[in-house]
Amino acid sequence: MHDHGAHGGSATAVAETAPRMALIGSPNSGKTTLFNALTGLRAKTANYPGVTVSRSEGVCPVDGQPVVLEDVPGTYSLDPVSPDEQIVSDLLHDRLQGVARIDGLISVADATTLHRSLVLLAHVLNVERPTCLVVTFLDALAQRQGHLDTRKLSRAIGIPVVGVIATRGQGLDAVRDLIADPSAWSTPVVPPPIELGEVDAWIESVLAAADYRPPLPDSRTSRVDAVLLHPVWGTLTFLVVMFAFFQSIFTLAAPLQDWVAQFFGWLGGLVSDHISNRWVSGLIGDALIGGVGGVITFLPQILLLFVLISLLESVGYMARAAFLMDRVMARARLDGRAFVALLSSVACAIPGIMATRTLPSAKDRLATMMAAPLMTCSARLPVYVMLIGMLVRPGQRIGPFPAQGTVMFLLYLAGAISAMLIARVWKSLLDRRGTVMPFYMELPPYRMPSLRSVALAVWDAASAFLRKVTRIILLTTLVLWLLLNLPARSDSALTQAGVDAKDQAAVSAYVIDHSPAAAIGRAVEPVFRPLGFDWRINIGVLASLSARETFVSTLGMVASSENPEKPAEALEQMTVQRGPDAGRKLFDAGTIAAMLVFFIYALQCMSTIAILRRESGAWKWPAMAFGYLFALAWVLAWLARLIVNTVRG
Amino acid sequence: MVDITEMLRRRTVSAATGTAAGQLTLADLRPGQRGVIVGLDDSHVAATMRRLCDLGFTLGAFVEVLRRAPLGDPTLFRVKHYEIALRRSEARRILIEPSDRAAEQHRGSAQAG
Amino acid sequence: MIPMHPERGATPDEVRWVIPDGVFQRRGRVVDVPQALRQLIDGGVIASINVETDAVVIRLHHTEDWRIAGPTIRSALAAALARPADWHFAPGAAIRITPI
């Protein structure tokens, strides 16, 4: 979960004339940490042209001159087995359309895995571009009784070698000095061999000349893994971690949520007290503060989830989770890393979809992206809380369990199981030939989380969420409020319609009933009537297509127009106005069940659509996702209503 | 420019010579056991076998089985002084001979292969 | 295969092929080598081969280029190093005194 959105825009401005270097190395080599350390926040991410492979570019100032650094996808070899690695090969051979030529290569290798890491270097040195080597994790090497003489290594390989401890900032100046002039870099007198036996002999010899002593196995990692990967204790710990994860969604964040809710309540009170113009106070109070405030109430919880995910990842636990869950994910024809992406989606599908970058196969990536929106994200929570509250009384129990909690748990479970099934279906569709992609996964040693990277990752995810809130939710709530409250009716028009102009509730009810929003809601009634929805719910559903959270505030606006003091009661008392089941209580069990199921499946998030577009590189994927999920949601919601109504007799 | 990827794709993964049917593979070892790689199944997807070599599973390399996931797959191995997990479907392509020697992982100066 | 790697020598046409200790018991100019390496000498590619303490120093004929000849020489050298007994040194070549 590293570089998410654009950090800054200056990389584009530097463009053509600046020298370009590519950082190349295996995943887990410390390459991205080095990239972040050299480019600071001056990096932007995009996709390579036409493919599902992400691309990071940043600017590193060297002696006042900008140098463009490209963080190439992690790869183990220039003999590719995945689209990511194919991109690396194409990039190095200047075969990529629209990508400028690379002037120098910065090979990054983990000092604790040199016997394997130098294989890639051997391949890269055959490309015959100025290349230097940056060796990372020298501190870990020393701590585990290993040793390396970088000067001797440089002489043995024939290229400049710099040792770096990126987390401490050591060696970064030496790297910057090196980047300043790639033409001055020494080159090997004879390129290293690439035939399998010969390259081993070369690596052995070079490391011997560098006085390399490989590190002992990391005792701390071994001891921790003895528990965390133990069949019994490991599984237990995993379940506890997952439980804690989900518990934090509800209990830990609660006090913070209350505080935020109080704040917005106070703000809303200020507005209604001090702004006399009812129209303006309604706009600011209901639409802006009510709509946005309702969502920001969930920010503490989302932040907490992001912090947890990020911590688990930087400590190294996520790789263990992927290891434990691989067999389960294999049933969905995916691998353990997809589990991490789906887990992240519980906070928000956006970082979850971005986390699919760790999956080596493009088909895996797409299948997981199509399934990620089904994981119960935080945006669904306000909707679920509201609907469950109407369905089940707080004290009710199902057997020994509290009913409300049980329904919530079942909703999460339904989301997770559906995600797995859907991932499997998509993977089968995308991969009809059943091509075999080798599975291999490094388990890096446990590391102290770099608070800086955790903070960066949380900031990335949080700012993506806040951007969604401020742009999409704000805009939607505003537009909706206007559509519901315009056109303003004059007193005479009201009286003509038989409405008492002094009765606020009656006036707003009339206005809403004859608003453009109502017209739209009625227009789509044929689509949603089988699900038990009426025009009021329809407006909510249509609004929620932009962002699920707006469903609550939309219904809130409609309800408070009928009963400003007690909107919740208004919802309870709403009845169907027209049609064959007129007079039925609108929010009856069947309809609520339909709504819940609809929200499990429907893709109601413009941000997710945007991210799907960006990560998959084409509009057809988000379009298909939206289409099939809408159809699925409709059918299953209809079924849910049918079943609930039948059971209730 | 020489296309290094093309040259790499043409690498041959040498199979074991004189292997008998029912040869021991990496998938047959239990956690705690060690072996030396004596061959690679060249009837399997060539790109996969080449990738296993690039990951360090080369002829003559020592492999130690560290642990198996609770559900039976994948298995964590130590090879070339680092740890990597493979599924059974890949592990059974690597032919080994069990080795009891402790500390075979070379430290410092290389020995003749 | 015997571990080895090339390093730049004293002059541009010289490359030191660093090998482990103990492959050879003698040092000095080499007058005969096995097979493929022999062919490269006869073919005028390699000008001379000298064994030093930790490396085999090969000097190319001045018309040749290490970037081009390198891979071929590497393979031939690797094969030749598998048979150190078939390397013949010039008379007067120093015998390595291995420390006890």
Question: In 3D, which of A221, A80, A358 has the Cα closest to residue B83?
Answer: A221
pLDDT score, position A434: 67
- C67 to chain B, any CB pair closer than 8 A? The answer is no
Q: Which residues of A touch C7 (CB under 8 A)?
A: 155-156, 158, 189
On the CB side of A134, how many CA atoms lie within 13 Å of its CA? 32
Q: Is residue C77 part of a domain?
A: yes
Å from A196 to nearest chain C CA?
A: 11
Other Cβ atoms less than 10 A from the Cβ of C10: the count is 9
Q: Is residue A642 less than 8 Å (CB to CB) from chain B?
A: no
Residues in chain B: 113
Contact between A55 and A20 (Cβ < 8 Å):
no
> Residue by residue, what is the 3-state secondary structure of A306-353?
HHHHHHHHHHCHHHHHHHHHHHHHHHCCCCHHHHHHHHHCCCCHHHHH
Q: How many domains does chain C have?
A: 1
Is C39 within the bounds of a domain? yes
pLDDT for position B53: 94
CB atoms within 10 A of CB A97: 8
Residues comprising chain C, all counted: 100
Give me the domain span that covers residue C68. 5-87
Backbone angles phi, psi at A292, to 5 degrees: -70, -40
Task: Measure in Å the smallest separation between the Cα of A124 and chain C Cα atoms.
Answer: 15
Whether the CB-CB separation of A70 and A56 falls below 8 Å is answered with yes
Shortest distance between the Cα of C1 and any Cα of chain B, in A, equals: 5
Q: Which domain holds residue B74?
A: 11-98
**Residue type at position A160:** P
From residue A166, alpha-carbon distances to A21, A134, C88 in Å are: 18, 10, 51
- Does any CB of chain B come closer than 8 Å to the CB of residue A333? no
**Is C76 a member of any domain?**
yes
The per-residue pLDDT for A24 is: 95
DSSP label of A470 = I
Residues shown for chain A: 649
Q: Please state the pTM of the whole predicted model.
A: 0.83
* Model confidence at C98: pLDDT above 60: no
- Predicted pLDDT of residue A1: 39
- In this complex, do C6 and A189 lie within 8 Å of one another by their Cβ atoms? yes
Cβ atoms of A585 and A574 closer than 8 Å: yes
pLDDT (0 to 100) of residue B103: 44
Number of domains in chain B: 1
CATH of the domain at C58: 3.30.1370.70
User: Considering only A535-539, A547-551, B4-8, C3-7, which range has the smallest mean pLDDT?
Assistant: A547-551
Give residue B18's pLDDT band: very low, low, confident or very high (50, 70, 90).
very low
Give yes or no for B110 touching C (CB within 8 A).
Answer: yes
Q: DSSP for A165-182, please give it.
A: BGGGTBTHHHHHHHHH-G
Q: Are A551 and A541 in contact (CB under 8 A)?
A: yes
- Domain range for A100 is 10-216
How far is residue A333's CA from residue C3's CA, in Å, rounded to a whole number?
42
CA-nearest residue of chain B to A229? B69
pLDDT number for residue C97: 58
Q: A162 pairs with which residues across the strands?
A: A134
Q: Is B16 part of a structural domain of the chain? A: yes
Tell me which residue in B8, B45, B84 faces A194 most closely, judged by beta carbons: B8
Set of chain A residues whose Cβ sits within 8 Å of the Cβ of B8? 77-79, 123, 194
Tell me if A629 sits within 8 A of A620, measured CB to CB: no
For residue A83, the tally of other CB atoms under 10 A from its CB is: 17
Select the more confidently predicted residue: C96 or A452: A452
Q: Which of A401, A408, A406, A402 is nearest to A382 (CA)?
A: A408
| A420 closest CA partner among A321, A355, A343 | A343
d(Cα A284, Cα A278) in Å, to the nearest integer?
Answer: 10
Cβ contact (<8 Å) for A204 and B110? yes
In a domain, C97, yes or no: no
Helices and strands (DSSP H and E) totals, chain A = 32, 10
Mean pLDDT, contiguous 10-residue spans, chain A (649 residues): 41 66 92 87 68 79 88 91 85 83 93 96 94 95 95 96 88 92 93 92 96 94 91 89 76 68 74 71 73 73 81 87 91 86 85 80 87 90 85 77 81 92 89 76 86 79 76 80 77 76 74 84 89 89 86 81 71 78 83 94 89 83 93 95 87
Number of Cβ within a 10 Å radius of residue A260: 19
In a domain, A208, yes or no: yes
Q: Is residue A356 left, alpha or beta, with left meaning phi > 0 and alpha meaning psi from -120 to 50?
A: alpha
Q: Is C71 on the interface with B (CB under 8 A)?
A: no
Residue A39 corresponds to which tokens in the numbers above? 């480019």
Tell me the two tokens of residue A632. Answer: 């699925």
What is the torsion angle, in degrees rounded to the nearest 10, for the CA atoms of residue A394, residue A396, residue A400 and residue A402?
Answer: -20
Three-state secondary-structure class, residue B14 = coil
Query: Peptide bond before B74: cis, by omega within 30 degrees of 0?
Result: yes
- Which tokens in the block code for residue A301? 């919880």
* Mean pLDDT of chain C, nearest integer: 88
Q: For tokens 């004290």, what's the residue?
A: A395
Residues 19-48 of B with CB under 8 A from A: 45, 47-48
Contact between A133 and A161 (Cβ < 8 Å): yes
Task: List the end-to-end C-alpha distance of chain A, in Å, as a whole number.
Answer: 49
Kindly state whether residue A266 falls inside one of the protein's structural domains: no
Instruction: List the structure tokens of A635.
Output: 């059918």
Q: Is A558 a member of any domain?
A: yes
pLDDT tens-digit series, residues B43-75: 878 888 999 999 999 999 999 999 999 888 899
Q: How far is the C-alpha of C82 from the C-alpha of C90, rounded, in Å?
A: 20
Q: What's the pLDDT at A207? A: 97
Residue C90 tokens, joined: 């010039």
Which comes out higher in pLDDT, residue B105 or A505? Answer: A505
Domain membership of residue A314 (yes or no) is no
**A147-156, A209-218, B101-110, C15-24: least confidently modelled range:** B101-110
- Looking up residue B93, the CATH number of its domain turns out to be 2.30.30.90
Read off the tokens for A218. Answer: 């990391």
**CB contact B112 to C (< 8 Å):** yes
